[in-house]
Amino acid sequence: MNAPILNLHTPSADDELVFLPLGGSGEIGMNLNAYGYGPADDRKWLIVDVGVTFGGSDEPGIDLILPDPVYLAGFAEDIVGIVLTHAHEDHIGAVAHLWPQLKAPLYATPFTAAMLRDKLKEKGLEKAAPITIIPMKHRFTLGPFDLEMVTLTHSIPEPNGLAIRTPLGMVLHTGDWKIDPDPQIGDATDAEALTRIGDEGVLAMVCDSTNVFVEGVAGSEGDVRVEMTKLIGELRGKVAVACFASNVARLESVCVAAAAAGRSVCLVGRSMIRVTGCAKSVGMLQGVNFVSPEQAGFLPDNSILYLCTGSQGEERAALSRIARGDHPHLTLHSGDTVIFSSRQIPGNERSIARMQAQLEEQGVQVITDADRPIHVSGHPCRDELRQMYSWARPQIAIPVHGERRHILEHVKLARTLQVREAIAPRNGDLIRLAPGPAEIIDEVPSGRLYVDGEILVPADGPAVTERKKLAEEGHITVALCIDAKGRLVSGPDVRVAGLAERNPKDGEANLDALAEAAEEAFERLKAENRRNEDLVEEAVSRAVRRAADRIWRKRPFVDCVCLSL
């Protein structure tokens, strides 16, 4: 409490306090939330978190997906700051991509700032986008917002809730959290601060919904450390542990368990090296030392433990390469063990199962949290949600960070806890919190951006749309050459990609059928139109597409190239 408290003025008749989710309300991940204060035509905006989600099979060639900030970018000069609650990718991963559109000051605690700084450097923004480092439990002001960092616990260091005070009331924005009595790194949940904030009066609570369907509590990192120490002490041969690199407490627990078993630890994977470097730079993991892959190769199997990335079966991650047998430094054999100290992110089940099967085929023992209690969630289960509501006692509940079903269930739960109002937001809903009853007053532009290589493209843009069509329907190229009198002198030459054939003879016959359809379409054109390349390409493409539909019952992408001599 060493910062001055905002001298809250009396609100004018036109002042409003609004909440705007642009990501994270309808999916788990890609969090971007904003608070606006002032008259509708002169609001100041505070952004909380700017995160990513990850592409899957529905987004071919896309690794990262970002919330579209186009609405807020239109008010960039009125954004007083971007405050980051913690360093997970789904909360900071889009900052470097979107900051050039928002150009607002950045605020983060030391570990989060260290993680973010690396991302800004990759984009050449470390000087243009300076970060103001704020300590835990700090209180400071940004425009009309009086902000207090509230210490919570999660699966990463320095998780914070935000108490956002305004002249029209206070919002408690929880970020991601759980109630862990023994988090191993950092302080436990600041129940005293939450109770004090609740006593002061919370107008609205914007709260994590990830585990709303799970009864009980998430569990403690302290219990994981005890079990991990016991388990690793039982094993012989090489041991590899796969976990999320951002869970520094888990990394430390593995290192403690390895030391107790007389094993040295080797980091495998770039994100493991990057995260441990950031953690050490802010005073964490003190006394923990690692051996290089080259050094590890000279140690007896019973004296080494590998900390690996790739718990989700990512194709290019370290553990997948180990499972395929193409990692440059590490091989595993019969008698070795891989421990998965992580959860399965929905959508990754098949890739994880495939990787685990590859390991087991090599005789490697696979141990998961289904076998031993070696993982706990970082998000609140229902008993923890009930506790948070009893501390904060908000008048309004606004669930975020969840799919639609999570958010609707959270609304039901909040209503059983005597919350006066509850709203289930969607991305783009502009919600007025005060004055008057909470209500959705507008729907603003929102959506998704894809990171396609180094380019940001809209999710419904032509490049990605065409790529999906190519993946689903296949591709046909037709080339033909026309002389000065509009006569066909070469072609049609047809090439097919991504369309199945029963046998090579069918393939030849189908190519002939497509070429015949193309030639017939050309011959049907009037003589004066055969020199018009656009008309030729349109007619030929249409005819070939119809022929492909008859042959394959598909509508492939047809690319016709007409060359005039």
Contact 92, 112 (CB under 8 A): yes
> Taking Cα atoms as reference points, which of 180, 217, 212, 207 lies closest to residue 393?
207
- Render the burial of 180-218: b for 16+ CB within 10 Å, e for the rest: beebbbbeebbeebbeebbeeebbbbbbbbbbbebeebb
Residues of the chain falling short of pLDDT 50: 1-4
Identity of the amino acid at 536: V
H helical segments located in 288-403: 293-296, 318-324, 349-361, 382-392
Per-residue tokens: 144: 């009309």
Say what the pTM is: 0.88
Task: Give the phi and the psi of residue 206 in degrees, each rounded to 5.
Answer: -100, 115
How far apart are the two ends of the chain, measured CA to CA in Å?
A: 80
Residue matched to tokens 């700090």: 138
Per-residue tokens: 297: 């190769």
Helix (H, G, I), strand (E, B) or coil at 46: strand
Angle between helices 95-102 and 110-122 (to 10 degrees): 80
Helix (H, G, I), strand (E, B) or coil at 245: coil
Identity of the amino acid at 309: T
> Taking Cα atoms as reference points, which of 139, 187, 168 lies closest to residue 10?
168
pLDDT value for 328: 87
> Taking Cα atoms as reference points, which of 542, 554, 549, 550 lies closest to residue 478?
542
Task: Quote the CA–CA distance of 239 and 258 in Å, as a whole number.
Answer: 9
Handedness of CA 390, 394, 399, 400 (dihedral sign): negative
Strands (DSSP E) contained in 202-346 are 204-208, 239-242, 264-268, 304-308, 337-340
Tell me the sheet residues that pair with 267. 307
2.60.40.1120, 3.50.70.10, 3.10.20.580, 3.90.79.10: CATH of 474-564: 3.10.20.580
Helix (H, G, I), strand (E, B) or coil at 266: strand
In the chain, where are the structural domains located? 16-216+377-458, 221-367, 474-564
Alpha-carbon distances of 476 from 245, 469, 493, rounded to whole Å = 44, 12, 10
Task: Quote the CA–CA distance of 3 and 362 in Å, as a whole number.
Answer: 59
**Radius of gyration (C-alpha) of the chain in whole angstroms:** 28
Q: Tell me, which fold does domain 221-367 have in CATH?
A: Rossmann fold (3.40.50)
Alpha-carbon distances of 180 from 15, 96, 159, 390, 555, rounded to whole Å = 39, 31, 12, 17, 54
> Taking Cα atoms as reference points, which of 418, 448, 444, 416 lies closest to residue 431?
444
Identity of the amino acid at 452: D
CATH number for region 16-216+377-458: 3.60.15.10
Contact 560, 478 (CB under 8 A): yes
Task: Quote the CA–CA distance of 402 and 25 in Å, as a whole number.
Answer: 6
pLDDT value for 5: 52
> Taking Cα atoms as reference points, which of 419, 407, 415 lies closest to residue 212?
407
Strand 169-173 versus strand 264-268 pairing type = unpaired
Secondary structure of 122-173 in HEC code, one letter for each residue: HCCCCCCCCEEECCCCCEEEECCEEEEEEECECCCCCCEEEEEEECCEEEEE
